[in-house]
Amino acid sequence: MSKTARFGPLAARLGECPELDVDALIDDPGTHVIVCTGSGGVGKTTTSAALALRAAERGRHVVVLTIDPARRLAQSMGIEKLDNVPRPVPGVDGAQGGSLDAMMLDMKRTFDEVVESQANPDKAAAILGNPFYVTLSSSFAGTQEYMAMEKLGQLRQDARKTGRWDLIIVDTPPARSALDFLDAPERLSGFLDGRFIRLLLAPAKGPARLMTAGFGAVTNTMAKIVGAQVLKDLQMFVAAFDTLFGGFRNRAQQTYQLLQTKETAFLVVAAPEADALREAAYFVERLDADDMPLAGLVVNRATSALDGLSAEQALAAAERLQSGRDAATTAGLLRLHADRMRRVARESKMRERFQAAHPHVPTVVVPALSTDVHDLDGLRTVGDLLAG
Amino acid sequence: MSDDSTPTPASHWPRVQLHIVTGKGGTGKSTVAAALALALASKGKHVLLCEVEGRQGIAQLFDVPPLPYEERRIAQGPGDGGDVYALAIDAESAMLEYLALYYRLGNRTGRALDRFGVIDFATTIAPGLRDVLLTGKLYEAVERNSRNKNARVYDAVVLDAPPTGRIAQFLNVNGEFGDLARVGMVKGQTERVMGLLKSRRTAVHLVTVLEDMPVQETVDGISDLRAHGMRVGGVVVNMTRPKSLDDQAREAALSGALPRDAIEADLQKVGIDVTPELVDGLVEEARAHAERRALEDEQRRRIDALDVPTYELQRLADGIDLGGLYELAAELREQGMA
């Protein structure tokens, strides 16, 4: 699919959108992987944790992979230590026979472990110490997404082998774009497979020979600009990494295929804001176009307000009260209400627009809480709201 | 919105030429960067607003077509007033421009580099090179002067920067890349860039909302920046809740002690059909609001303890459009940020 074309019904009227039944999703024994995705700051981590806790307390054996939870939430889930190992979450109600493990993704460590498992000790040491590897494993755009996928693949394999879990819930990294999660493996393997790398590896062999004249000029230029040592580091890195390429690509493809099967469900998380819904739309379209299993949309932090008094009425009344004395509190209540009503109107308009363009997407709207979520009780509350 | 009779205080940052605006995702840093650029322009300055993450956030905010790697005017004040130009910097274009400028590489070599995938490779994986190129372009825009024929000269450059978690690393180009390239011509360049970034002509502003995680990131970001010798500018507290209820009323709302009878009487006085549900609803809205405000106050105390200038922008009920941006710009100007 072209990356720029939009994907949708092309002509649509506003209708009722189907409701997302979260409990049906997590209770379905055929659901083995749930991926929560969306742009940064929309509450993905909280949503995935709440979903995981709810599923566990309804009898599933769940492991949740989180990326960057708030400190207090991480503490209450017993995962404040970043050690890449799933641990049981204390305080989960196991009356229905379920269980909950949680872990926080350590991107660099996951990458290191893959290298260590794929290369012999000498080669692994050479790779781990190379400055290019250090950048690739710690700040290459897409590594975090890639490693989240790698970890998901590992957990799924573990789950199949040991039967320890029957549901894996994944929180995705706070990417610039939600699509990065899907594109990262392709991007990384395409990149490691690129022409430049092949040239660095075998400058005088095969079809590359035809290009080597120009290539000499290129490496000379590079050496002039960044220094010869950098080029040498680079060549060493590429040579050492060469043997790992195939393995990397295979694993990425396997995980991608896992994401396309019926045992996976994607939940797109958004806030009722223009930016977040735009990202959600891109993601939904991408899943549709690639035939991937979209379960639905979670609109987090929605404003709610009481019915029966419009923003205009409330503001007019507040103005009239203002002239009298001792009515400051009532006027304040009315202004607060008017502010809420305006937000409600704006948010529902944005949601309607989204629905018109994506009429088939089951949606659940989660009202904003007045307090932060930082313990299991908070997560249970969010879980109740998610279930409608 | 302010009018001309509103007194405008002196800017807290009169000598700053490079304003770097960072913040956690979802805090509105792009909006604040745009509002700051407008606020500076409203004082008659020529301002360049840059973005570096390929999101086309500026184009969306100003509702103009996507920006190319080229300075485009996106806002102009009345009369001989200031203006805002915008530029979306991408590493690939910056690298080609850089090669042409400093190494007099013709188009042919540039094309060859591109053909071999070197540009893509170098800008994605070479440790920190991407950031060197992006900050290098910023440096060029700030240091540009009338010696350059035909070059547009700016009084201030505002950068919609990478998020707080990555900002110190992004700006500390000399560290990561300089260590790698001990020789080579880029080394000298990164030192000049660091000279600007660590000088009094640069300020790094942090945008936050009054919630636990963004504030924590702001606190961490500030100590990170300071550890790297960067100058921390102000903290912009964004999207605060309306202050329609005073302390006393909020306390009453929290403890369930709002005077329901008086509220009912007030409402009746101004002709509203009062039902018990209506009063219940208003009281419940007030309680939720007071609870949220109490959390905000707790976070605000953490920000106050940082001892840096702070600016506060209220959440706009109707969201951000061009009019909203102007409103935020006026607000920042009145609070002395521009």
Among all residues of chain A, which has the CA nearest to that of B182?
Answer: A227
Closest residue on chain A to B282 (Cα)? A333
Neighboring chain A residues of B113 at a CB cutoff of 8 Å: 218, 221
- What is the full DSSP assignment across B149-173? TT----SEEEEEPPPHHHHHHHH-H
Place of tokens 């109740």: A384
Domain assignment of residue A377, yes or no:
yes
Residue B272: closest CA among chain A residues belongs to which residue?
A: A317
Residue A4 placed within a domain: no
* A38 within some domain: yes
pLDDT in the model for residue B80: 74
**Does a structural domain hold residue A9?**
no
pLDDT of residue A234: 75
**Residues A388/A324, Cβ–Cβ less than 8 Å:** no
- Does A10 reside within a domain? no
Residue A210, pLDDT score = 47
Question: Residue A281: its pLDDT value, please?
Answer: 92
Q: Assess if residue A1 is contained within a domain.
A: no
Tell me which chain B residue has its CA closest to the CA of residue A327: B266
User: Closest by alpha carbon to B159, among B191, B122, B120, B206?
Assistant: B206
Percent of chain A beyond pLDDT 90? 42
Q: How far is A94 from chain B (nearest CA, A)?
A: 30
Q: State ipTM.
A: 0.86
**Owner of token pair 């996976």:** A264
For residue A367, list chain B residues with Cβ-Cβ distance below 8 A. none
What would the pLDDT profile of A249-290 be if each residue is shown by its tens digit?
777 778 888 888 999 999 999 999 888 898 899 889 988 888
Greater model confidence, A71 or A277? A277
Residues whose CB falls within 8 Å of the CB of residue B64, separated by 6 or more in sequence, listed in order? B72, B74
Structural domain total, chain A = 1
Distance CA A228, CA A260 (A): 45
Give mean pLDDT in consecutive 10-residue pieces for chain B, a chain of 338 residues: 59 96 91 97 96 89 91 89 93 82 67 69 69 88 75 94 87 65 64 90 97 92 93 96 93 95 94 93 96 95 96 90 93 96
Average pLDDT of span A229-242: 73
The pLDDT of residue A208 is: 46
Q: For residue A159, what is the domain's CATH number?
A: 3.40.50.300
Q: Is residue A121 part of a domain?
A: yes
Cα–Cα distance for residue pair A201/A194, rounded to 1 Å: 11
Tens digits of per-residue pLDDT, A321-355? Answer: 876 667 889 999 999 999 999 999 999 999 999 99
* Chain B residues with beta carbon closer than 8 angstroms to that of A131: 127, 180
Within 8 A of A370 by CB-CB distance, chain B residues are: 287-289, 291-292
* Angle formed at CA B74 by CA B70 and CA B75, multiple of 5 degrees: 145
pLDDT of A298 higher than 80: yes
C-alpha triplet A138, A180, A172: angle, nearest 5°: 75
Domains and CATH numbers, chain B: 18-244+308-334 (3.40.50.300)
User: CB–CB of B319 and A271 under 8 A?
Assistant: no
The per-residue pLDDT of chain A, averaged, comes to 84
pLDDT digits (tens, 9 = 90+) for A54-69: 999 999 999 999 887 7
Report CA B78 to chain centroid distance, whole Å: 24
Gap between the Cα atoms of B315 and B236, Å rounded: 12
- Residues of chain B with C-beta less than 8 angstroms from the C-beta of A326: 262
Return d(Cα B77, Cα B333) in angstroms, integer: 15
Q: Write down the pLDDT at residue B104.
A: 66
The range of the structural domain enclosing residue A200 comes to 22-386
Please report the pLDDT score of residue A122 as a whole number.
Answer: 87
Task: Specify the pLDDT at position A279.
Answer: 86
pLDDT of residue B221: 94
> What global pTM score does this model have?
0.87
Determine, for residues B117 and A195 on separate chains, whether the beta-carbon distance falls below 8 Å.
yes
A215 versus A52: the higher-pLDDT residue is A52
- Determine, yes or no, domain membership for A12: no
